[in-house]
Structure formats: C-alpha cells, structure tokens
Chain A
C-alpha cells in the first residue's frame, strides 16, 4: 500500500506541469485568477492549444486523437489543469457528444463530427433539461415528428449552458408519444443551431452572468441522418453518458488552487486585531474544509486504483465525488466571501469608475454563482438517490 504516485506518474505530472507553465497564455491565466468572465474566443483558444498538443481528448481512442493515457494519467492531467488554472474545456463536445458518437454513431457521423469537435471547429451545447423536466428527465416533451427525410422539432429546452456560443446542440426529443414507458420513444438527435426556427434567449443568473439560455424550437427541420443510435432508443444513450467520464467531478486540482488563494487572501485581511488566518473561528472552518479536500483526494485516488486494478468502469458510488467535490467548492467560495468582509458588497459601477477593486467585487457574485454546482449535472439529491439505489440496493 502506497499513497504516493509512482516515479513514472510523478515524471508524467512534472511533464504536464512544465508544459502548462510554458503554454498557458498569461492573459488567460490572469482572467481565471481574477474570476473574470471568459469569452467564446478565450475558451476556444485554450481548446485549440491543447488540440495542437494532442491533449484535448485524452480518453478518446487513439485513432481519433486520444492519448492512450491510463486512468491515473488522465486524472493527473485534469487535476494539473485545474491546479494551474487553465480555462475549462467545455464538455459538451469533447466529453459528451464525442463519446456518444464513438459508441453509437455511424461511421459517417463520426467522420463528419469528431474531427471538428477535436479541433474546436464546432462549439457544442446540450439540450436535455426542459421547463417541466429537470431531475425527472424522462418526462421531456420536446417533439420530433418524422416527415420524409427529416424530423420536424417543436418544443423548448432550458438551462442550456453556453447555448449562445454554440454551433450545434445534441438533444433528447420525443419521437413517439404512445409508448407505455416514458423512457421509450425518446431519441438522441443533433441539431444545427443555425437552422431556421431556433431562438436562443438568455437566462441571466443572480450574479448577473449570462451562461445559460432557453432554446426554443419552432418547426425546426432536422435531417434524418442526424439521428444517433436507433429511433426511440435515446434513453440508452442518455444512460451511457451518465456513467461516462465521472472521475473528474471532484475538481480537486481547482479546489486546491482556490484553497491556497484563500489562505493567502485571508492572511492579508484583518481579523480581531490579527490577520483573519489567525482568527480561530475562521481558521477552524478553513481547516475542516482543507481536511475534507485531503480526504476527497485520497478517496478519488482509491476509486482510480480500483478502476485500474479491476479494469471496470467506475461504479455508481463515484457519485460521492460529485457530492463532496461540489460541497467543497461551495465551502471555498463561502469562506472567500467571508474573508472579504464588508467589501463583498460593491458589485457594479453606476457611473464609470466607482473605485472599488474588481477582484474583491467578483468574490460575492462567485459565491452566488457556485450555488449551481450542487444543482447541475444531477443534483446532489439525485446523486444520493443513485447511491441509495445502485450501491446500497435500497
């Protein structure tokens, strides 16, 4: 038993760390560090730097550009990116649509879409949630009716992350409303966001940010060739995605970076005559969070070790990585907001330069924004349902 990485794993980590140091553009690093909003170009620039290096889709098969890395190497790479503070890789193409096409797509679909996903030529978004279908996804109502060589799609998707940047959307739609079970009659289709009849409307979140949207479909024509897998078997695809790539949901590297930043920041804040870091009430909360993060990192490594030994995909119990990882992320944003004290209040200048510090002003909105983490990608309550049912047999 050995908790430390092997010499080879350490060498790999150092290689990744060194490369990130040399290749992460300073302006992007600065934007991440100061919690600034990233543009479509920022996201794609980083995507293309990684694509050029051959590291943008490590888990894909080698023939499609994958790296052939072990599960541990993939984890190290993701954590190093998080720790270095790179822009995120938007998962909708690389980690969702890509793997679905690799598993269920026709040769033609693979050839058409995978290289463009890999190179960042197409920006993808996800069409799952609807106004009446959140956790209960199988209740979705958006309809696709077959008409000759195309489908006609009508309905609405919501919470569509970065839909306003997207060239394509993959959707779960109902192709048959007469089935006995709700999970049947659902299909997985790819829709060009430029198709006539699509309207994207922003949903502004409480931090003032525009990251999610409503997407309306009004008699949108979609070629039958854009159906992935069999008609009516989209739920199989959705379930496959649910179990795919769930090892990085802990976001441990990014949380380590935030923790280090929080310690540095708190040490500069006054608290009861000393620095806030020396205030035992504050420090104990921070220590408990740090300990939870230390535990999560080891738990994550234990899951990876199990995968490596058994060769099996992760079990349902990896849902706990999402639960704990997001709780830690939220805890960090909350303590950061506490650390900034009364200066958490300034938000947006009214007339030009209001004189407040932009970094400190970004901290409370970030706290607001991070409340999403325990809700999105299967709320933490849904994660608990999954563990209760699949792991504990309840």
Chain B
C-alpha cells in the first residue's frame, strides 16, 4: 500500500511526453469549405424552411398539372366567380376557370421568368464583371463608367422601354429583364475578382504556366462564388416582381397564359366582390418572394467565413 502511494507521488513528478500533453487538445474536425457552408445553412431553420417550400413549389408546378382534372384555359361560365369549394380549391375566376390550376400555371411562368432571367443576368454579369475586373486598367475604367451611367436610371424604366419596343410576351420579358439587371451582378463579380487577383494562388498558378483565361475561370471565379450565389438568389424575387409589375401596367405575358402578376392585375377590377381572385395569386407571389429572400439571407450568413465558430 505504502509503496504504491510513494510510487504515485513520484509518478506525479515524472516529465510528460509530447503525446501525453497533446491528449487534452480539442481538435476541430476539418471540413471543406462547402461542407461548412451547408452545415451552417442547415442550422438556419428559416432558410431551410424556405428552401423546402421552394423545392415543394417547383415540384408542384411541374407535376400537378399533369394529373389535375382542369386545365388553365377550360372555361365554364356557369361556374364563374365561385368561392373556394372542394372541387375548385381556390374557386373560379370570372370565366369559370379553375383558379387553383391557374395559380399553379402562374407558378410555372413566374418561376421560369425568375430563374431564367436570373441565369441570363448571371452569365452576362459574370462575363462583363469578370473581364472588367481581370483585365483592369483602362478597359476596366471604361467598362465601369458605362455601368455607372446606366446605373443612374432605374432599371425598371429601361425594362419598360424595352418591353414597348419588343412587344408583350414571355420572350420579350426574359430579354428585357436579362439585359438590365446584370449590372449589379457585374459590379459584384468585378469587386470579387479585384480582391482575388491579389491573392497568392494566382501567382502560384501563373508560375506553373497557366494561361490567363485558365486563371480566370478555374481559380478566381469559383472563389468569388459566394457573393455571386447570394446575389443570384436575391435577384430571382426581383425578376418575379418585375414581371408582376410589368403585367400590372399591361406589359406582361398574353392571355390565356397567366403569371401571378397577370392574375393579380385581372383580379383588380372585381376583387372587392370576389377577394379570392386576388388573394390566392397574391399569397403565392408574396410567399415565394419571402422564401427566396429568407433563403438568400441564410445563404449570405452561411457563406460568410468570419462566422466560423
């Protein structure tokens, strides 16, 4: 007994090996950047809820019309202006068309406009901003000056003018929105490229003999992705809103196809009598925009490396 006690006491004064010293260290599991981003996003309940809602909405928009008994143009004047019933979940409009399916079709159109326009903005903006930022110097100055002049005027005015020129319809809307909103994207991309240009790995890639365009697209652009993704997510609701706005002033898609904006506009005249005409498209529009905004906010928080806990 005494021996062990003595042994223990003497043990205490034994020097520790490095391995024993490191035993207590808390090691954080290393993760790749994108895993980290996804982990953070998952923790944001509101953003995840929005993401789920949007995925659900897209699935509904794609699949429901395939088996729904009514189509968006089936008229049945005897059933006109009905309030929601079991048969017509959202009621009917003034031509007796099922409002539910029209709202779903509206989702198709509004979402298509939103996403397609954003993709166009993305491509144009990335190319313009990427070149401007990478080439730098006088070219950059000139390109940015042009952007500054264009930026002074509200883009909505341009869109309106373009629509007047191009005439109504889906294609025109895409062209009009796609050729105006790229400006903010271009600015952001350029800013990212400028800061990334200074980073060391560009030098490293250069010393390995990579050509200029390779540097641009393989190294710089993926790292600028963060703010680009956020901007794109936020530009979808802008595009959807702009389309609704255009419909409101009479420049939207043509009947009987209807986006949510067109549905809302049509409902204006009679909504005091039949509020459900306006309520459902407006609700769909608002919820979708809300969801994209929350998702964009969540992505922005998740992509910000300074928040790494």
Q: Is this pair of chains taken from one and the same complex?
A: no
Binding site for B on A (CB under 8 A): none
